[in-house]
Structure 1
Amino acid sequence: MGAIVVIGAGPAGRCVVDRIRAHAPQPGGGRVVEVHVVDPHALGTERSSDAGPAVRDPSCGVRVRVHHDRAVRLTESAGRQFVRLLGGETLEADAVVLARGRPGIPTGPAEREEAVFADRHDLLYLPGGPDQEHGLESVPAGEPVLVRGAGRAFAGLLAPLTTGRGGRFSQGRRGELVYLPGGFEPLLYVGSRRGVPHHARPGYRLTGGTRPRRFAYEGDARQATAKELAYAYYQELFTAHPSRTKTTWAKFGPAFARAEQGGKEMRALVTKSVPRFADRLHLDRLERPLRGVRFGDLAGLQRWMHGYLAADLERRADPGFSPDLALIRALLDARPRMAGDPWFEGLFGLLADGPSLVCQAELHALARAGVVTFIGAEPRIEQDDGGWRANSLTVPGVTRARALVETRRPRSGSAHCADPLIADLYARGECREAAGLLAVRVPDGRLITGHGSVHGRRFALGSLAAGDTGSDGSATLPGRADAVARAVLSQVFGALVHAAA
Structure 2
Amino acid sequence: MSAVPSLPTVVFVGGGPRTTGTLLAIAARLREAGTPPADRALDIHVVDPYPAGPGRIWRSEQPEQVWMNNTSDQMTIYADGDPHVPGALAGPTIADWIGEGGKFIPRRDAAIYLREAFDKAVAALPPGVTVTEHRAKSVSAARSETPDGSRTIRLDDGTKLHADVTVLAQGYLDVRQDGAAHPGHTPPGYTVDQDFSHLPAGEDVLVRGFGLAFIDLMMMLTEGRGGRFAWEDTPIDSQLIPEYHPSGREPVLWVGSRRGVPYRSKLPDGPPQVTPRYLAEDVLARLPRTSGGVLPDGVLESLLNAEITDAWYVTLAESGVAESGRISLTVDEIHTLVDPWVDGFIAGDRDGAQDLRAKALQILEAAVPDPEDRLDLERLDRPFADREVDGDAVEDAVEDIVVANLRRVASRHFPQDGALYSTLVTAFFAAGSLAAGGALSAADQQYVASLASTFSYVCSGPPPERLANLVALHRAGVVRFLGPDAEFRTLPEGSPHRYASSSVSTSFTDRPVEVAADRLVDARLAPLSADRLTDDLLSGLLAEGEIVVKERGQSAVITVDPDDRVVASDGSVADSLFLIGPTSSSPVIGGFGRPNQATQVFPANDALAATVLDTALTRDASATRSRELRSARS
The bucket for the TM-score relative to the shorter chain is 0.7 to 0.9
Partner in structure 1 of residue 138 of structure 2: 70
Give the counterpart letter for 1:323 in structure 2. A
Distance 1:448 1:186, change over 3 A: farther
Structure 1 residue 190: Cα displacement: 0.5
Q: Among 562, 580, 599, which residue is 1:460 paired with? A: 580
Give the counterpart letter for 1:348 in structure 2. F
Q: CA RMSD in A?
A: 4.4
Q: Does 2:427 align with 1:362?
A: no
CA contact (8 A) 1:82 1:92 kept: yes
CA contact (8 A) 1:19 1:482 kept: no
Partner in structure 2 of residue 489 of structure 1: 609
Partner in structure 2 of residue 497 of structure 1: none
Structure 1 residue 285: Cα displacement: 1.2
Partner in structure 2 of residue 39 of structure 1: 48
Structure 1 residue 37: Cα displacement: 0.7
Q: Does 2:463 align with 1:403?
A: no
Structure 1 residue 235: Cα displacement: 4.1
Gaps of 5+ in 1: 45-54, 119-123, 495-501
Partner in structure 1 of residue 276 of structure 2: 211
Distance 1:134 1:440, change over 3 A: same
Whole-Å separation in 2 of the counterparts to 1:145 and 1:285: 30
CA contact (8 A) 1:84 1:91 kept: yes
Partner in structure 1 of residue 82 of structure 2: none
Structure 1 residue 471: Cα displacement: 10
Structure 1 residue 402: Cα displacement: 1.4
Q: Among 501, 517, 527, which residue is 1:390 paired with? A: 501
CA contact (8 A) 1:201 1:471 kept: no
Q: Does 2:314 align with 1:307?
A: no
Distance 1:448 1:129, change over 3 A: same
Give the counterpart letter for 1:175 in structure 2. Q
Structure 1 residue 368: Cα displacement: 2.8
Structure 1 residue 186: Cα displacement: 0.7
Partner in structure 1 of residue 457 of structure 2: 350
Range that drifts further, 366-375 or 170-179: 170-179
SS of residue matched to 2:197: helix
CA contact (8 A) 1:40 1:69 kept: yes
Structure 1 residue 147: Cα displacement: 0.4
Structure 1 residue 18: Cα displacement: 7.1
User: What are the superposed Cα offsets for residues 334-375 of structure 1, whole Å, 9 maximum, x if unpaired?
Assistant: 334457643122212212222233333322332232221110
CA contact (8 A) 1:38 1:71 kept: no
Structure 1 residue 210: Cα displacement: 3.3
**Percent of aligned pairs with the same amino acid:** 23
User: What are the superposed Cα offsets for residues 263-306 of structure 1, whole Å, 9 maximum, x if unpaired?
Assistant: 522321321343332222222112211125333244x2222222
Range that drifts further, 26-35 or 71-80: 71-80
Distance 1:240 1:296, change over 3 A: same
Q: Among 473, 479, 497, which residue is 1:372 paired with? A: 479
Counterparts in 2 of 1:40-189, with a 5 A limit? 40=49, 57=122, 59-61=124-126, 62-67=129-134, 68-73=136-141, 84-85=153-154, 89=160, 91-93=162-164, 96=167, 98=169, 100-109=170-179, 112=180, 115-116=181-182, 118=183, 124-130=184-190, 133-172=193-232, 173=235, 174-176=238-240, 177-189=242-254
CA contact (8 A) 2:191 2:216 kept: no
Partner in structure 2 of residue 237 of structure 1: 316
Structure 1 residue 390: Cα displacement: 1.5
Range that drifts further, 340-349 or 191-200: 340-349
Counterparts in 2 of 1:374-453, with a 5 A limit? 374-382=481-489, 383-384=491-492, 385-387=495-497, 388-392=499-503, 393=505, 394=508, 396-411=512-527, 413=529, 416-422=532-538, 424=541, 428-429=547-548, 433=552, 436=555
Structure 1 residue 146: Cα displacement: 0.4
TM-score by length of 2: 0.62
Counterparts in 2 of 1:213-362, with a 5 A limit? 213-214=278-279, 216=287, 218-220=296-298, 221-240=300-319, 243=322, 244-259=326-341, 260=353, 263-298=357-392, 300-317=393-410, 318=412, 320=415, 321-329=417-425, 330-337=427-434, 341-362=448-469
TM-score by length of 1: 0.76
CA contact (8 A) 1:95 1:491 kept: no
Task: Report which of the two structures shows the higher radius of gyration computed on alpha carbons.
Answer: 2
Whole-Å separation in 2 of the counterparts to 1:37 and 1:43: 7
Give the counterpart letter for 1:28 in structure 2. T
May I ask how many residue pairs the two structures share in their alignment? 464
CA contact (8 A) 2:22 2:606 kept: no
User: What are the superposed Cα offsets for residues 59-85 of structure 1, whole Å, 9 maximum, x if unpaired?
Assistant: 532521234341534989999785743
Distance 1:303 1:435, change over 3 A: same
Q: Which has the higher strand share?
A: 1
Distance 1:396 1:466, change over 3 A: farther
CA contact (8 A) 1:198 1:353 kept: yes
Whole-Å separation in 1 of the counterparts to 2:360 and 2:565: 36
User: What are the superposed Cα offsets for residues 364-408 of structure 1, whole Å, 9 maximum, x if unpaired?
Assistant: 332232221110111122315112221113452111211111124
Range that drifts further, 11-20 or 268-277: 11-20
Gaps of 5+ in 2: 1-6, 54-118, 288-294, 342-352, 436-444, 615-634
Structure 1 residue 252: Cα displacement: 1.7
User: What are the superposed Cα offsets for residues 414-452 of structure 1, whole Å, 9 maximum, x if unpaired?
Assistant: 5643225556569744777576475899xx99689799x
